[in-house]
Amino acid sequence: MCGILGTNFKSSFFLDSLKLLNHRGPDNLGLYEYENCQFGHTRLAIIDLESEANQPMVFDDIIIIFNGEIYNYKEIIKEEKLLCITKSDTEVLIRLYQKYGENFLNKINGMFSFSIYDIKKGRYFCARDRFGKKPFYYYLKNDKFIYASEIKSILKLLDSTPNLNQKALSQYLSFLTPIEDNTFYEDIKKLPAGHFLIFDETSFKIKKYYDIDNIKNVKRNEETVLNDIEDILINSVNQRLVSDVEVATLLSGGIDSSLTSALYSKFSKNKINTFCIGYDEHKHYSEIDYAKVVSKHINSNHHELIINRKDYIETIDKMIDYTDEPFGDSAAIPTYLLSEFIHNQGIKVALSGEGSDESFLGYDNYFTMLNYYQSKGSKELFTFTKEWEYNNRAFEKRHIYQTYGETFSENQKQRVLKEYKIKNHVENYMKCTYPPYKWLTYIDFKIWIAEVLMTKLDRMSMANSLELRAPFLDYHLVEYMLSVGENLKKGNTNKYLLKQVALKYLPNEIVHRRKKGFSSPFIEWLYEEYKEDILHTILEVNKKLNIFNEDFIRFLFNESKEKRFKQHIWNLFIFAKWFKKVY
C-alpha cells in the first residue's frame, strides 16, 4: 500500500507535497519527471520487498504510480503469458496496459488506484477499484492537473484553499461523508469507485467500467449455495494472504471478523495474531469477551487494546487531519487507535470483516426496511423521528432506504439549514431497478461501503502505515450473493446463509449471538469532555458561515444529551472542528 501524487506541471513544492504522504508509505520515497510532468510515490513494501519494485516504475515509455494490491497478479502473468522483469504486481499493470490499453481493469482482482502516463500518446490513464477501497482525488482547472491519494497533497500545490463546497456539506449531513465525486473543497474531486479517467491535451473524460446494478438471480438449492459461499470465501481469504510480510487479523468477536480469522487460522502453518479493542468504561460497547472466545477456539496469539476517554478525545483531531475533510463515522477513532496498536507490533497487513452485512443482509434494520416497503404508508403529522420519515417515503412511493449511515433527512435539513431546498441525493442511483431486498445491498455498496467504510479503513489504517484487506469485499462473492433469491437469502434470521457456513468453523455462541456492530461510547465521552463547548463550537462557526438555524442546533444539542439525535450533533461538531482548522 502506498501514496501517489502527480502533476502535469512542475512545482517547487512537489517534494513537500509528497512528504505529506509518508505515513502511507514509509519504506521508500520515489520521484520521476518527464518534461513538465511530475510523479511521486511513497511505498509500504508488502509484495516484492526489493528495490526493483520501487515506484514510480518506468518501462517502454510507460510511467506508473500505483497504490494497492493486485491479488491475482501471479495468475494473470501465467494466463496472459506476460513477460515481467520484476516480481511486482505493479509491473503487471504496465504489461496489461501494453496488451489491452484501457480494457484490462475487469481482469484484475484487488484494491487499487493508479495513474499510467503513456509518453508516446501524451495521455494519462487513471483508475480506481470496483468498490472504492483505495482513494483517488484530483484537481483540474486552468490546465493544471493534480492527483493524489489524499486531499492534503493537492492543497499543498494550490495557491489558495478552495471555497467550501455546499453540496458536499448537504451530502455529509445526510450520509456522514460527501458522495459521488464531491469533496468539501470546490474544484477538488474524487474519482468514483469502478471508474477510470483519461486526460490529454485535448480531452478529459471519466467512464464507468464496473457496476453491480444488473446482476440476475440464478436458481440454486440451499446446499449448492452454501458450498459455493464457503469456496468463494476460502479463496478470497487465501488471496488476501498474498504477501511477503506477516498478515494479522482484526477480531471483534462478531461473526464476520471471527469467520475471517478462523479461515485464516485453519490454513496457516503458524499461529496467527489477532487484535481487538475495548473500553475502560461504558463496557457494554465492548466485544472483548467474545473475541477471547474466538481466539481460544482458533488458538491465536491474541492482543487486546483498552482505550479510555483521553485516548478517544485526543484522536478526534488526528482523524480530521487524516481524512482532510469532515467524516462522520465515529468508528474511525477506534479504527485509528487499533491500527496504531497493530503497527507498533511491527505488522504491516491485517484482514478485516467489512462487507459481510451488506451482502448477507446482516443489519437488523434491513428487515425493518423490507417491512416498510410492503407498507403503503400514511399521511401523518410531521415529527422528527425516523419512523415518520420512512412512513412518509412509503406513502409518497419514494425509495425508503437510502443507506445504512443516513443521518439528517431532507426534512430535518430544511430545519437545520437556513436556506435549503429538498433534494433527492440518491437520484443518480435510481436507474437500478432491483427489488427492495437487492436495493438494500446495491445502495449500501454505492454509498455506505464506497464512501464511508472504505474511507474509514483506508485513512485510519494508512495513517499508521497499515494495510487492511477485506475478504468479504471480493467482487466474486458480492456478485454471487446478488444472484441469490430473496427467500433463500433472508432465511429465518439475519445473515442466514453465512451463519450456516460459519457453524463449521465457530462456536454456536458466536454464530448466533446478537449483532452488536463496531460501536463506541462516542457521545458519552464527547459530552463528558466538552460539555457546553460542543454547542459553542458549532455556533462559533455559524457566526462566520451564517447557514445554520441556531434554535434547531440548540434543540439537537439538548436532545443528544438524552442519547437522541446523537449522530446529528456529532456530524455538526466534527464539521465545525474541521472548519475552524481550515478556514
Q: What percent of the chain has pLDDT over 70?
A: 99
H/E stretch holding 190: strand 188-190
Task: Tell me the average pLDDT of the chain.
Answer: 95
**Tens of pLDDT, residues 370-394:** 999 999 888 888 888 899 999 999 9
The residue from 2, 37, 126, 276 that is catalytic is: 2
The candidate with the shortest Cα–Cα distance to 495, out of 469, 475, 474, 517, is 517
Mean pLDDT of 517-544: 93
d(CA 61, CA 516): 52
Distance of CA 185 to the CA centre of its chain: 19
Give residue 203's identity as a one-letter amino acid code: S
* DSSP assignments along 242-297, one per residue: --SS-EEEE--SSHHHHHHHHHHHHH-SSPPEEEEEEESS-GGG--HHHHHHHHHH
Mean pLDDT of 346-369: 96
Return binding residues for ATP.
250, 277, 352-353
Mean pLDDT of 356-368: 96
Q: What angle do CA 540, 541, 545 make, to 5 degrees?
A: 125
Q: Which residue has the higher pLDDT, 245 or 98?
A: 98
Q: What is the CATH number of domain 2-208?
A: 3.60.20.10
The candidate with the shortest Cα–Cα distance to 378, out of 391, 368, 390, 389, is 391
Please say whether the beta carbons of 245 and 348 come within 8 A. Answer: yes
d(CA 414, CA 422): 7
> In DSSP terms, which residues pair with 6 in a beta bridge?
39, 147
Per DSSP, 445 falls in state: I
Q: What's the whole-model pTM score?
A: 0.96
The candidate with the shortest Cα–Cα distance to 205, out of 97, 125, 93, is 125
d(CA 546, CA 525): 28
Core vs surface per residue 516-544: b (16+ CB within 10 A) or e? eebebbbbbbbbeeeeeebbebbeebbee
**Three cell numbers written together for 578:** 474541521
Return binding residues for L-glutamine.
89
d(CA 565, CA 373): 24
Cα-based distances in Å from 106 to 76, 426, 432, 523: 12, 26, 21, 42
d(CA 513, CA 571): 30
Would you place residue 518 in the very low, low, confident or very high pLDDT band (cuts 50, 70, 90)?
A: low
Would you place residue 401 in the very low, low, confident or very high pLDDT band (cuts 50, 70, 90)?
A: very high
**Three cell numbers written together for 150:** 489524499
The 3-state secondary structure of 236-248 reads HHHHCCCCCCCEE
**Three cell numbers written together for 111:** 484494491
Query: Which residue shows C-alpha cell 449483532?
Result: 515
Would you place residue 530 in the very low, low, confident or very high pLDDT band (cuts 50, 70, 90)?
A: very high
**Three cell numbers written together for 454:** 472504505
Q: Is 212 left (phi over 0), alpha (psi -120 to 50) or beta?
A: alpha
Q: CA-based diameter of the chain, in Å? A: 69
Mean pLDDT of 233-254: 92
Radius of gyration of the chain measured on its C-alpha atoms: 23
Return binding residues.
89, 250, 277, 352-353
Give residue 394's identity as a one-letter amino acid code: A
CATH level 2 (architecture), domain 222-361+443-511? 3-Layer(aba) Sandwich (3.40)
Q: Do domains 2-208 and 222-361+443-511 have the same CATH topology?
A: no
Would you place residue 517 in the very low, low, confident or very high pLDDT band (cuts 50, 70, 90)?
A: low
Please say whether the beta carbons of 185 and 162 come within 8 A. Answer: yes
**Tens of pLDDT, residues 123-168:** 999 999 999 999 999 999 999 999 999 999 999 999 999 999 999 9
Domain boundaries, the chain: 2-208, 222-361+443-511, 521-583
Residue 37 known to be catalytic: no
What pLDDT score was predicted for residue 283?
Answer: 87
In this structure, the strands spanning 204-208 and 137-141 are unpaired
Would you place residue 276 in the very low, low, confident or very high pLDDT band (cuts 50, 70, 90)?
A: very high
Cα-based distances in Å from 350 to 243, 328, 464, 571: 11, 24, 12, 29
Per DSSP, 446 falls in state: I
**Tens of pLDDT, residues 297-318:** 999 999 999 999 999 999 999 9
Cα four-point dihedral sign 508, 513, 516, 517: positive
d(CA 19, CA 566): 37
Report helix, strand and coil shares of the chain as percent, to nearest 5: 45, 15, 40
What pLDDT score was predicted for residue 239?
Answer: 93
- Omega into 521 within 30° of 0, i.e. cis? no
What are the strands of the beta sheet with 467-469, ordered from one edge?
301-307, 273-279, 247-250, 349-351, 467-469
**Tens of pLDDT, residues 441-453:** 999 999 999 999 9
**Tens of pLDDT, residues 15-73:** 999 999 999 999 999 999 999 999 999 998 787 677 777 899 999 999 999 999 999 99
**Three cell numbers written together for 561:** 444529551
